[in-house]
Structure 1
Amino acid sequence: MPSSIESAESTEATEATESAAKAGHATGPVPWVAMYHSVGDCSDDPYRITVTPERLEKQLGWLRRRGLRGVSVAELLAARSRGEGRRLVGLTFDDGYADFLDHALPVLDRWGCGATLFVLPGRLGGDNAWDPLGPRRPLLTADGIRRAARGGVEIGSHGLTHVDLTKADPQTLRAETADSRARLEELLQAPVDGFCYPYGTVDRRAVDAVRDAGYGYACAIDPGPLNGPHALPRVHIGQNDNAVRLFLKYRLHRLRRRPVEGL
Protein backbone atom coordinates (compact mmCIF):
# COMPACT_ATOMS: atom_id res chain seq x y z
CA MET A 1 0.00 0.00 0.00
CA PRO A 2 1.62 3.32 -1.04
CA SER A 3 2.00 6.06 1.56
CA SER A 4 0.02 9.30 1.36
CA ILE A 5 3.17 11.11 0.29
CA GLU A 6 3.87 8.59 -2.48
CA SER A 7 0.24 8.78 -3.66
CA ALA A 8 0.36 12.57 -3.73
CA GLU A 9 3.62 12.50 -5.67
CA SER A 10 2.19 10.08 -8.21
CA THR A 11 -1.00 12.11 -8.67
CA GLU A 12 0.94 15.38 -8.97
CA ALA A 13 3.33 13.94 -11.54
CA THR A 14 0.46 12.56 -13.62
CA GLU A 15 -1.41 15.87 -13.54
CA ALA A 16 1.73 17.80 -14.49
CA THR A 17 2.43 15.45 -17.38
CA GLU A 18 -1.14 15.74 -18.69
CA SER A 19 -1.01 19.54 -18.35
CA ALA A 20 2.27 19.64 -20.24
CA ALA A 21 0.86 17.48 -23.01
CA LYS A 22 -2.18 19.73 -23.40
CA ALA A 23 0.15 22.72 -23.65
CA GLY A 24 2.07 21.06 -26.44
CA HIS A 25 4.97 19.84 -24.30
CA ALA A 26 5.43 16.07 -24.37
CA THR A 27 8.27 16.19 -21.86
CA GLY A 28 6.33 16.12 -18.60
CA PRO A 29 6.92 18.11 -15.40
CA VAL A 30 9.91 20.36 -14.79
CA PRO A 31 13.00 18.52 -13.50
CA TRP A 32 13.61 18.88 -9.77
CA VAL A 33 17.10 20.24 -9.17
CA ALA A 34 18.30 20.79 -5.60
CA MET A 35 20.78 23.55 -4.81
CA TYR A 36 23.37 23.05 -2.08
CA HIS A 37 26.50 25.03 -1.23
CA SER A 38 28.78 24.19 1.71
CA VAL A 39 28.60 20.98 3.77
CA GLY A 40 30.08 21.35 7.25
CA ASP A 41 29.71 23.48 10.38
CA CYS A 42 26.65 25.72 10.10
CA SER A 43 26.94 27.47 13.49
CA ASP A 44 28.07 30.72 11.80
CA ASP A 45 26.03 30.82 8.61
CA PRO A 46 24.28 34.18 7.97
CA TYR A 47 23.40 33.25 4.38
CA ARG A 48 22.02 29.83 5.35
CA ILE A 49 24.06 28.11 2.67
CA THR A 50 25.49 25.31 4.81
CA VAL A 51 24.13 21.90 5.78
CA THR A 52 25.87 19.52 8.15
CA PRO A 53 26.96 16.10 6.86
CA GLU A 54 24.38 14.57 9.19
CA ARG A 55 21.57 16.64 7.67
CA LEU A 56 22.72 15.82 4.14
CA GLU A 57 22.69 12.15 5.11
CA LYS A 58 19.06 12.40 6.24
CA GLN A 59 18.02 14.36 3.14
CA LEU A 60 19.54 11.82 0.74
CA GLY A 61 17.95 9.04 2.78
CA TRP A 62 14.59 10.74 2.32
CA LEU A 63 15.10 10.80 -1.45
CA ARG A 64 15.96 7.13 -1.60
CA ARG A 65 13.01 6.09 0.57
CA ARG A 66 10.70 7.96 -1.82
CA GLY A 67 12.12 5.97 -4.71
CA LEU A 68 14.11 8.98 -5.95
CA ARG A 69 17.82 9.09 -6.77
CA GLY A 70 20.14 12.06 -6.82
CA VAL A 71 22.24 12.46 -9.98
CA SER A 72 24.28 15.07 -11.82
CA VAL A 73 22.40 17.56 -13.95
CA ALA A 74 24.03 16.07 -17.04
CA GLU A 75 22.68 12.62 -16.19
CA LEU A 76 19.25 14.03 -15.38
CA LEU A 77 18.97 15.91 -18.67
CA ALA A 78 20.29 12.95 -20.68
CA ALA A 79 17.61 10.75 -19.14
CA ARG A 80 14.93 13.34 -19.83
CA SER A 81 16.01 13.53 -23.48
CA ARG A 82 15.29 9.78 -23.72
CA GLY A 83 11.85 10.24 -22.17
CA GLU A 84 13.06 8.76 -18.87
CA GLY A 85 14.29 10.02 -15.52
CA ARG A 86 11.01 10.92 -13.82
CA ARG A 87 12.40 9.59 -10.52
CA LEU A 88 15.75 11.35 -10.81
CA VAL A 89 16.65 14.49 -8.88
CA GLY A 90 19.51 16.77 -9.84
CA LEU A 91 21.92 17.51 -6.98
CA THR A 92 24.05 20.64 -7.38
CA PHE A 93 26.70 22.17 -5.11
CA ASP A 94 27.62 25.80 -5.84
CA ASP A 95 30.92 27.66 -5.34
CA GLY A 96 33.24 24.64 -5.05
CA TYR A 97 33.91 24.70 -1.30
CA ALA A 98 36.81 22.57 -0.11
CA ASP A 99 34.55 20.78 2.39
CA PHE A 100 32.85 19.00 -0.53
CA LEU A 101 35.56 16.34 -0.68
CA ASP A 102 35.56 15.44 3.01
CA HIS A 103 31.93 16.01 3.95
CA ALA A 104 29.67 15.77 0.88
CA LEU A 105 31.31 13.22 -1.40
CA PRO A 106 31.39 10.37 1.17
CA VAL A 107 27.67 10.87 1.90
CA LEU A 108 26.82 10.91 -1.79
CA ASP A 109 28.78 7.69 -2.26
CA ARG A 110 27.01 5.94 0.64
CA TRP A 111 23.61 6.66 -0.90
CA GLY A 112 24.63 5.87 -4.47
CA CYS A 113 24.03 9.44 -5.63
CA GLY A 114 25.75 11.56 -8.23
CA ALA A 115 26.05 15.35 -8.26
CA THR A 116 27.23 18.40 -10.16
CA LEU A 117 29.81 20.67 -8.56
CA PHE A 118 29.92 24.24 -9.91
CA VAL A 119 33.37 25.77 -9.36
CA LEU A 120 35.22 29.06 -9.91
CA PRO A 121 38.44 28.54 -11.88
CA GLY A 122 39.46 32.15 -11.22
CA ARG A 123 39.51 31.55 -7.44
CA LEU A 124 41.26 28.18 -7.16
CA GLY A 125 42.41 27.64 -3.57
CA GLY A 126 40.90 30.98 -2.55
CA ASP A 127 37.84 31.67 -0.45
CA ASN A 128 34.34 33.14 -0.64
CA ALA A 129 35.55 36.75 -0.73
CA TRP A 130 32.31 37.82 -2.48
CA ASP A 131 30.36 37.26 0.77
CA PRO A 132 30.62 40.38 2.98
CA LEU A 133 29.23 38.55 6.02
CA GLY A 134 30.10 35.32 7.70
CA PRO A 135 33.28 33.25 7.90
CA ARG A 136 35.78 32.83 5.07
CA ARG A 137 35.35 29.35 3.61
CA PRO A 138 38.20 27.81 1.59
CA LEU A 139 37.55 26.80 -2.01
CA LEU A 140 38.88 23.75 -3.81
CA THR A 141 42.29 23.84 -5.43
CA ALA A 142 42.85 22.58 -8.97
CA ASP A 143 43.87 19.19 -7.54
CA GLY A 144 40.75 19.11 -5.39
CA ILE A 145 38.54 19.68 -8.41
CA ARG A 146 40.33 16.88 -10.26
CA ARG A 147 39.79 14.59 -7.25
CA ALA A 148 36.07 15.35 -7.28
CA ALA A 149 35.92 14.60 -11.02
CA ARG A 150 37.76 11.30 -10.50
CA GLY A 151 35.13 10.50 -7.87
CA GLY A 152 32.43 10.62 -10.53
CA VAL A 153 31.21 14.17 -9.88
CA GLU A 154 30.26 16.32 -12.85
CA ILE A 155 32.22 19.58 -12.84
CA GLY A 156 30.55 22.72 -14.15
CA SER A 157 31.43 26.41 -14.21
CA HIS A 158 30.09 28.95 -11.73
CA GLY A 159 31.77 31.71 -13.67
CA LEU A 160 35.36 32.81 -13.27
CA THR A 161 35.21 34.86 -10.05
CA HIS A 162 31.52 34.89 -8.92
CA VAL A 163 30.21 38.01 -10.68
CA ASP A 164 26.56 38.95 -11.24
CA LEU A 165 26.32 38.46 -15.00
CA THR A 166 23.32 40.77 -15.32
CA LYS A 167 25.60 43.68 -14.28
CA ALA A 168 28.75 42.66 -16.17
CA ASP A 169 30.26 44.60 -19.05
CA PRO A 170 30.84 42.71 -22.34
CA GLN A 171 34.47 41.86 -21.59
CA THR A 172 33.68 40.57 -18.10
CA LEU A 173 30.69 38.63 -19.39
CA ARG A 174 32.88 36.80 -21.88
CA ALA A 175 35.55 36.06 -19.26
CA GLU A 176 33.01 34.74 -16.78
CA THR A 177 31.41 32.42 -19.35
CA ALA A 178 33.73 31.46 -22.23
CA ASP A 179 37.07 31.92 -20.45
CA SER A 180 35.94 30.03 -17.35
CA ARG A 181 34.86 27.10 -19.51
CA ALA A 182 38.19 27.07 -21.36
CA ARG A 183 40.14 27.10 -18.07
CA LEU A 184 38.12 24.23 -16.63
CA GLU A 185 38.44 22.13 -19.75
CA GLU A 186 42.21 22.64 -19.67
CA LEU A 187 42.30 21.74 -15.97
CA LEU A 188 40.21 18.60 -16.40
CA GLN A 189 41.25 17.65 -19.91
CA ALA A 190 37.56 16.96 -20.51
CA PRO A 191 34.51 18.83 -21.84
CA VAL A 192 32.56 21.09 -19.49
CA ASP A 193 28.87 21.28 -20.38
CA GLY A 194 27.18 22.95 -17.42
CA PHE A 195 27.06 26.51 -16.07
CA CYS A 196 25.53 28.01 -12.95
CA TYR A 197 24.63 31.72 -12.73
CA PRO A 198 26.30 33.39 -9.73
CA TYR A 199 23.74 34.63 -7.20
CA GLY A 200 21.11 32.87 -9.34
CA THR A 201 20.54 36.10 -11.28
CA VAL A 202 19.89 35.77 -14.99
CA ASP A 203 18.58 37.78 -17.92
CA ARG A 204 18.41 37.24 -21.69
CA ARG A 205 21.87 38.74 -22.22
CA ALA A 206 23.42 36.32 -19.71
CA VAL A 207 21.60 33.35 -21.23
CA ASP A 208 22.84 34.28 -24.70
CA ALA A 209 26.43 34.61 -23.46
CA VAL A 210 26.31 31.21 -21.78
CA ARG A 211 24.82 29.56 -24.85
CA ASP A 212 27.36 31.26 -27.13
CA ALA A 213 30.17 30.00 -24.89
CA GLY A 214 29.13 26.46 -25.77
CA TYR A 215 27.47 25.26 -22.58
CA GLY A 216 24.73 22.70 -23.06
CA TYR A 217 22.72 23.82 -20.01
CA ALA A 218 22.74 26.39 -17.22
CA CYS A 219 21.19 26.52 -13.74
CA ALA A 220 19.57 29.55 -12.16
CA ILE A 221 17.27 29.75 -9.12
CA ASP A 222 14.10 31.45 -10.30
CA PRO A 223 14.60 32.44 -13.96
CA GLY A 224 11.24 34.20 -14.17
CA PRO A 225 9.89 34.33 -17.74
CA LEU A 226 13.06 32.76 -19.17
CA ASN A 227 12.76 29.11 -20.08
CA GLY A 228 14.79 26.32 -21.63
CA PRO A 229 17.90 24.27 -20.84
CA HIS A 230 19.94 27.45 -20.27
CA ALA A 231 17.56 28.75 -17.58
CA LEU A 232 16.85 25.77 -15.34
CA PRO A 233 15.09 26.57 -12.04
CA ARG A 234 16.39 25.08 -8.81
CA VAL A 235 15.27 24.69 -5.20
CA HIS A 236 17.47 25.85 -2.30
CA ILE A 237 18.05 23.12 0.29
CA GLY A 238 19.21 24.13 3.75
CA GLN A 239 19.86 22.85 7.25
CA ASN A 240 16.22 23.23 8.30
CA ASP A 241 14.84 21.08 5.50
CA ASN A 242 13.53 17.93 7.17
CA ALA A 243 11.32 15.28 5.56
CA VAL A 244 8.13 17.38 5.65
CA ARG A 245 9.80 20.49 4.23
CA LEU A 246 11.53 18.45 1.51
CA PHE A 247 8.24 16.92 0.43
CA LEU A 248 6.57 20.33 0.25
CA LYS A 249 9.46 21.79 -1.75
CA TYR A 250 9.46 18.79 -4.07
CA ARG A 251 5.74 19.03 -4.75
CA LEU A 252 5.41 22.82 -4.92
CA HIS A 253 8.35 23.14 -7.31
CA ARG A 254 6.58 21.01 -9.89
CA LEU A 255 3.24 22.71 -9.34
CA ARG A 256 4.66 26.24 -9.64
CA ARG A 257 7.07 25.77 -12.55
CA ARG A 258 6.29 25.46 -16.23
CA PRO A 259 7.69 22.48 -18.16
CA VAL A 260 11.14 23.40 -19.43
CA GLU A 261 11.06 23.90 -23.16
CA GLY A 262 13.40 21.61 -25.05
CA LEU A 263 13.43 18.87 -22.38
Structure 2
Amino acid sequence: MAAAVDSAPVPWIAMYHSVGDCSDDPYRITVTPDRLDRQLNWLRRRGLRGVSLAELLTAPTRGDLVGLTFDDGYADFLDHALPVLREYGFGATLFVLPGRLGGDNAWDPLGPRKPLLTADGIRRAAQAGVEIGSHGLTHVDLTEADDLRLKSEVVESRAALEELTGAPVDGFCYPYGTIDARVVDAVREAGYAYACAIDPGPLTGPHALPRLHIGQNDTAVRLFLKHRLHRLRRRPVEGI
Protein backbone atom coordinates (compact mmCIF):
# COMPACT_ATOMS: atom_id res chain seq x y z
CA MET A 1 0.00 0.00 0.00
CA ALA A 2 1.92 3.01 -1.27
CA ALA A 3 1.95 6.20 0.76
CA ALA A 4 1.36 9.51 -0.97
CA VAL A 5 2.70 11.45 1.99
CA ASP A 6 4.89 10.62 4.95
CA SER A 7 2.22 11.47 7.50
CA ALA A 8 -1.53 11.92 7.29
CA PRO A 9 -4.26 12.98 9.72
CA VAL A 10 -5.77 10.09 11.63
CA PRO A 11 -8.52 8.51 9.51
CA TRP A 12 -12.00 8.26 10.97
CA ILE A 13 -12.60 4.56 11.66
CA ALA A 14 -15.73 3.64 13.61
CA MET A 15 -15.70 0.50 15.76
CA TYR A 16 -18.94 -1.45 16.14
CA HIS A 17 -19.58 -4.93 17.47
CA SER A 18 -23.08 -6.40 17.79
CA VAL A 19 -26.31 -4.98 16.33
CA GLY A 20 -29.46 -6.13 18.09
CA ASP A 21 -31.12 -6.12 21.52
CA CYS A 22 -29.00 -4.09 23.95
CA SER A 23 -31.17 -4.50 27.08
CA ASP A 24 -28.50 -6.77 28.61
CA ASP A 25 -25.19 -5.30 27.49
CA PRO A 26 -22.59 -5.12 30.30
CA TYR A 27 -19.69 -4.48 27.92
CA ARG A 28 -21.57 -1.86 25.88
CA ILE A 29 -20.85 -3.65 22.61
CA THR A 30 -24.36 -3.53 21.17
CA VAL A 31 -26.37 -0.95 19.24
CA THR A 32 -29.94 -1.46 18.13
CA PRO A 33 -30.74 -1.46 14.40
CA ASP A 34 -32.66 1.78 14.91
CA ARG A 35 -29.67 3.46 16.57
CA LEU A 36 -27.35 2.24 13.81
CA ASP A 37 -29.78 3.66 11.25
CA ARG A 38 -29.74 7.05 13.01
CA GLN A 39 -25.95 7.08 13.23
CA LEU A 40 -25.49 6.25 9.55
CA ASN A 41 -28.10 8.82 8.63
CA TRP A 42 -26.11 11.38 10.62
CA LEU A 43 -23.05 10.53 8.55
CA ARG A 44 -24.96 10.86 5.30
CA ARG A 45 -26.46 14.22 6.30
CA ARG A 46 -22.94 15.51 6.89
CA GLY A 47 -21.89 14.42 3.40
CA LEU A 48 -19.94 11.41 4.68
CA ARG A 49 -19.94 7.86 3.32
CA GLY A 50 -19.22 4.69 5.24
CA VAL A 51 -16.76 2.35 3.52
CA SER A 52 -14.62 -0.71 4.16
CA LEU A 53 -11.08 -0.16 5.35
CA ALA A 54 -9.76 -1.51 2.07
CA GLU A 55 -11.54 1.33 0.29
CA LEU A 56 -10.69 3.92 2.93
CA LEU A 57 -6.96 3.23 2.96
CA THR A 58 -6.55 3.13 -0.82
CA ALA A 59 -8.69 6.21 -1.56
CA PRO A 60 -6.75 9.15 -3.05
CA THR A 61 -8.61 11.48 -0.66
CA ARG A 62 -10.49 10.55 2.50
CA GLY A 63 -12.22 13.76 3.52
CA ASP A 64 -15.72 12.37 3.00
CA LEU A 65 -15.04 8.75 3.99
CA VAL A 66 -15.57 6.93 7.29
CA GLY A 67 -14.32 3.40 7.81
CA LEU A 68 -17.01 1.18 9.35
CA THR A 69 -15.74 -1.87 11.23
CA PHE A 70 -17.63 -4.60 13.07
CA ASP A 71 -15.61 -6.77 15.47
CA ASP A 72 -16.08 -10.41 16.51
CA GLY A 73 -18.36 -11.55 13.65
CA TYR A 74 -21.67 -11.74 15.50
CA ALA A 75 -24.43 -13.59 13.67
CA ASP A 76 -26.72 -10.59 14.05
CA PHE A 77 -24.60 -8.75 11.48
CA LEU A 78 -26.47 -10.42 8.62
CA ASP A 79 -29.95 -9.82 10.02
CA HIS A 80 -29.57 -6.38 11.58
CA ALA A 81 -26.43 -4.55 10.37
CA LEU A 82 -26.23 -5.54 6.71
CA PRO A 83 -29.77 -4.37 5.80
CA VAL A 84 -29.07 -0.93 7.28
CA LEU A 85 -25.73 -0.68 5.47
CA ARG A 86 -27.45 -1.61 2.21
CA GLU A 87 -30.12 1.03 2.76
CA TYR A 88 -27.45 3.72 2.81
CA GLY A 89 -25.21 2.16 0.19
CA PHE A 90 -22.38 1.97 2.73
CA GLY A 91 -19.56 -0.54 2.87
CA ALA A 92 -17.93 -2.10 5.93
CA THR A 93 -15.22 -4.42 7.20
CA LEU A 94 -16.18 -7.41 9.33
CA PHE A 95 -13.48 -8.90 11.57
CA VAL A 96 -14.22 -12.55 12.33
CA LEU A 97 -12.83 -15.50 14.29
CA PRO A 98 -12.40 -18.62 12.13
CA GLY A 99 -11.50 -20.65 15.21
CA ARG A 100 -14.97 -20.05 16.71
CA LEU A 101 -17.25 -20.53 13.70
CA GLY A 102 -20.84 -20.94 14.87
CA GLY A 103 -19.77 -20.53 18.49
CA ASP A 104 -20.38 -17.62 20.83
CA ASN A 105 -18.58 -14.86 22.73
CA ALA A 106 -17.26 -17.17 25.44
CA TRP A 107 -14.47 -14.66 26.19
CA ASP A 108 -17.03 -12.29 27.79
CA PRO A 109 -17.62 -13.79 31.26
CA LEU A 110 -20.55 -11.53 32.13
CA GLY A 111 -22.53 -12.55 29.06
CA PRO A 112 -25.00 -12.57 27.50
CA ARG A 113 -24.01 -15.30 25.08
CA LYS A 114 -24.17 -14.01 21.52
CA PRO A 115 -23.92 -16.43 18.58
CA LEU A 116 -21.14 -15.93 16.04
CA LEU A 117 -21.34 -16.34 12.29
CA THR A 118 -20.91 -19.77 10.76
CA ALA A 119 -18.67 -20.37 7.76
CA ASP A 120 -21.71 -19.98 5.51
CA GLY A 121 -22.62 -16.72 7.23
CA ILE A 122 -19.15 -15.30 6.61
CA ARG A 123 -19.37 -16.31 2.96
CA ARG A 124 -22.77 -14.62 2.68
CA ALA A 125 -21.35 -11.40 4.10
CA ALA A 126 -18.41 -11.54 1.69
CA GLN A 127 -20.74 -12.18 -1.25
CA ALA A 128 -22.72 -9.10 -0.21
CA GLY A 129 -19.58 -7.00 -0.69
CA VAL A 130 -18.45 -6.80 2.94
CA GLU A 131 -14.69 -6.91 3.43
CA ILE A 132 -13.69 -9.84 5.66
CA GLY A 133 -10.74 -9.40 8.00
CA SER A 134 -9.17 -11.53 10.72
CA HIS A 135 -9.74 -11.01 14.43
CA GLY A 136 -7.39 -13.87 15.24
CA LEU A 137 -8.51 -17.47 15.66
CA THR A 138 -10.13 -17.47 19.08
CA HIS A 139 -10.13 -13.94 20.58
CA VAL A 140 -7.17 -14.03 22.98
CA ASP A 141 -5.03 -11.17 24.25
CA LEU A 142 -2.08 -11.51 21.90
CA THR A 143 0.26 -9.60 24.20
CA GLU A 144 -0.05 -12.51 26.66
CA ALA A 145 0.38 -15.26 24.04
CA ASP A 146 3.69 -17.06 23.58
CA ASP A 147 5.37 -16.84 20.18
CA LEU A 148 3.86 -20.08 18.87
CA ARG A 149 0.31 -19.10 19.89
CA LEU A 150 0.79 -15.62 18.49
CA LYS A 151 1.88 -16.96 15.10
CA SER A 152 -1.02 -19.41 15.05
CA GLU A 153 -3.60 -16.74 15.83
CA VAL A 154 -2.22 -14.35 13.23
CA VAL A 155 -1.11 -16.62 10.38
CA GLU A 156 -3.56 -19.53 10.57
CA SER A 157 -6.60 -17.28 10.91
CA ARG A 158 -5.70 -15.50 7.69
CA ALA A 159 -5.14 -18.76 5.81
CA ALA A 160 -8.44 -20.17 7.08
CA LEU A 161 -10.41 -17.11 6.00
CA GLU A 162 -8.80 -16.96 2.58
CA GLU A 163 -9.72 -20.60 2.03
CA LEU A 164 -13.24 -19.97 3.33
CA THR A 165 -13.96 -16.88 1.23
CA GLY A 166 -11.73 -17.53 -1.78
CA ALA A 167 -10.43 -13.96 -1.51
CA PRO A 168 -7.37 -12.24 -0.03
CA VAL A 169 -7.58 -11.18 3.61
CA ASP A 170 -5.63 -7.96 4.03
CA GLY A 171 -6.86 -6.68 7.40
CA PHE A 172 -6.36 -7.72 11.01
CA CYS A 173 -7.99 -6.51 14.21
CA TYR A 174 -6.34 -6.98 17.62
CA PRO A 175 -8.61 -8.68 20.17
CA TYR A 176 -9.38 -6.32 23.06
CA GLY A 177 -7.37 -3.67 21.20
CA THR A 178 -4.26 -4.69 23.17
CA ILE A 179 -0.93 -4.47 21.36
CA ASP A 180 2.80 -4.22 21.86
CA ALA A 181 5.70 -4.02 19.42
CA ARG A 182 6.07 -7.83 19.25
CA VAL A 183 2.43 -8.32 18.30
CA VAL A 184 2.44 -5.53 15.73
CA ASP A 185 5.59 -6.98 14.16
CA ALA A 186 3.98 -10.43 13.96
CA VAL A 187 0.94 -9.03 12.16
CA ARG A 188 3.10 -7.06 9.73
CA GLU A 189 5.32 -10.09 9.04
CA ALA A 190 2.25 -12.24 8.38
CA GLY A 191 1.57 -10.08 5.33
CA TYR A 192 -1.44 -8.05 6.43
CA ALA A 193 -1.72 -4.68 4.71
CA TYR A 194 -3.21 -3.01 7.79
CA ALA A 195 -4.38 -3.74 11.32
CA CYS A 196 -6.82 -2.06 13.69
CA ALA A 197 -6.30 -1.27 17.35
CA ILE A 198 -8.18 1.25 19.53
CA ASP A 199 -5.71 3.74 20.98
CA PRO A 200 -2.25 2.50 19.95
CA GLY A 201 -0.34 5.58 21.11
CA PRO A 202 3.30 5.60 19.92
CA LEU A 203 2.75 2.41 17.89
CA THR A 204 0.22 4.20 15.66
CA GLY A 205 0.71 3.33 11.99
CA PRO A 206 -0.74 1.19 9.18
CA HIS A 207 -0.53 -1.89 11.43
CA ALA A 208 -1.89 -0.10 14.52
CA LEU A 209 -4.73 2.11 13.35
CA PRO A 210 -6.73 3.98 16.01
CA ARG A 211 -10.50 3.63 16.02
CA LEU A 212 -13.49 5.36 17.57
CA HIS A 213 -15.84 3.19 19.64
CA ILE A 214 -19.50 3.73 18.75
CA GLY A 215 -22.24 2.60 21.14
CA GLN A 216 -25.94 2.79 21.83
CA ASN A 217 -25.68 6.14 23.63
CA ASP A 218 -23.96 7.90 20.75
CA THR A 219 -26.47 10.42 19.49
CA ALA A 220 -25.68 13.13 16.93
CA VAL A 221 -24.14 15.44 19.52
CA ARG A 222 -21.98 12.70 21.01
CA LEU A 223 -20.84 11.58 17.57
CA PHE A 224 -19.77 15.12 16.73
CA LEU A 225 -17.84 15.52 19.97
CA LYS A 226 -16.27 12.06 19.79
CA HIS A 227 -15.05 12.67 16.28
CA ARG A 228 -13.53 16.05 17.17
CA LEU A 229 -11.74 14.59 20.21
CA HIS A 230 -10.60 11.57 18.20
CA ARG A 231 -8.90 13.82 15.64
CA LEU A 232 -7.35 16.00 18.35
CA ARG A 233 -6.09 13.26 20.66
CA ARG A 234 -4.80 10.66 18.20
CA ARG A 235 -1.39 10.81 16.59
CA PRO A 236 -1.06 11.36 12.82
CA VAL A 237 -0.76 8.08 10.95
CA GLU A 238 2.49 7.74 9.03
CA GLY A 239 2.70 5.47 6.00
CA ILE A 240 -0.84 5.63 4.62
Once the two structures are superposed, the pairs formed by residues 115-154 of structure 1 within 5 Å of their partners are 115-154=92-131
Alpha-carbon contact 2:99-2:137 (below 8 Å) kept = yes
1:32 maps to which residue?
A: 12
Paired with 1:28 and 1:216, the residues of 2 have a C-alpha distance of: 17
What is the DSSP-based 3-state SS (H/G/I as helix, E as strand, rest coil) of the residue aligned with 1:225?
A: helix
Normalising by structure 1, we get a TM-score of 0.88
Candidates 160, 183, 190, aligned match of 1:183: 160
1:112 maps to which residue?
A: 89
Q: In structure 2, give the amino acid aligned to 1:68.
A: L
1:236 aligns with 2:213: yes
Paired with 2:42 and 2:7, the residues of 1 have a C-alpha distance of: 26
Q: In structure 1, give the amino acid aligned to 2:51.
A: V
Normalising by structure 2, we get a TM-score of 0.97
Q: More deviation in 151-160 or 25-34?
A: 25-34
With CA pairs under 8 Å and 6+ residues apart, which has the higher RCO, 1 or 2? Answer: 2
1:17 maps to which residue?
A: none
Relative to structure 1, the CA distance from residue 102 to residue 62 in structure 2 (aligned partners, 3 Å threshold; closer, same or farther) is same
Please give the per-residue CA displacement for 1:62-81, whole angstroms capped at 9, x wherever unaligned: 000001111001100001xx
2:23 maps to which residue?
A: 43
Residue 28 of structure 1: how far off its partner (Å):
3.7
Residue 89 of structure 1: how far off its partner (Å):
0.4
Paired with 1:167 and 1:208, the residues of 2 have a C-alpha distance of: 15
Candidates 180, 185, 189, aligned match of 1:208: 185
Alpha-carbon contact 2:97-2:136 (below 8 Å) kept = yes
Residue 251 of structure 1: how far off its partner (Å):
1.1
Paired with 1:219 and 1:252, the residues of 2 have a C-alpha distance of: 19
Alpha-carbon contact 2:201-2:234 (below 8 Å) kept = no
What is the DSSP-based 3-state SS (H/G/I as helix, E as strand, rest coil) of the residue aligned with 2:68?
A: strand
Paired with 2:83 and 2:25, the residues of 1 have a C-alpha distance of: 22
Larger-Rg structure: 1
Residue 87 of structure 1: how far off its partner (Å):
1.1
Paired with 1:250 and 1:86, the residues of 2 have a C-alpha distance of: 13
- Structure 2 residue runs of 5 or longer lacking an equivalent are none
Residue 57 of structure 1: how far off its partner (Å):
0.1
Q: In structure 1, give the amino acid aligned to 2:67.
A: G
Residue 134 of structure 1: how far off its partner (Å):
1.9
2:236 maps to which residue?
A: 259
Paired with 2:221 and 2:132, the residues of 1 have a C-alpha distance of: 30
Q: In structure 2, give the amino acid aligned to 1:138.
A: P
Q: More deviation in 51-60 or 247-256?
A: 247-256
1:67 aligns with 2:47: yes
Alpha-carbon contact 2:102-2:117 (below 8 Å) kept = yes
1:169 maps to which residue?
A: 146
1:9 maps to which residue?
A: none
Q: CA RMSD in A?
A: 0.9
Residue 260 of structure 1: how far off its partner (Å):
0.3
Paired with 2:219 and 2:213, the residues of 1 have a C-alpha distance of: 13
Please give the per-residue CA displacement for 1:188-211, whole angstroms capped at 9, x wherever unaligned: 111000000000001100000001
Number of residues of Structure 1 aligned to a counterpart in Structure 2? 236
- Structure 1 residue runs of 5 or longer lacking an equivalent are 1-24
Q: In structure 2, give the amino acid aligned to 1:111.
A: Y
Q: In structure 2, give the amino acid aligned to 1:59.
A: Q
Paired with 1:193 and 1:229, the residues of 2 have a C-alpha distance of: 12
Alpha-carbon contact 2:6-2:238 (below 8 Å) kept = no
Q: Which runs of 4+ in 1 moved over 2 A?
A: 25-28
Please give the per-residue CA displacement for 1:20-63, whole angstroms capped at 9, x wherever unaligned: xxxxx665421010000000000000000000000000000000
What is the DSSP-based 3-state SS (H/G/I as helix, E as strand, rest coil) of the residue aligned with 2:208?
A: coil
Please give the per-residue CA displacement for 1:69-101, whole angstroms capped at 9, x wherever unaligned: 11001100001xx3x121100000000000000
Candidates 34, 38, 56, aligned match of 1:58: 38
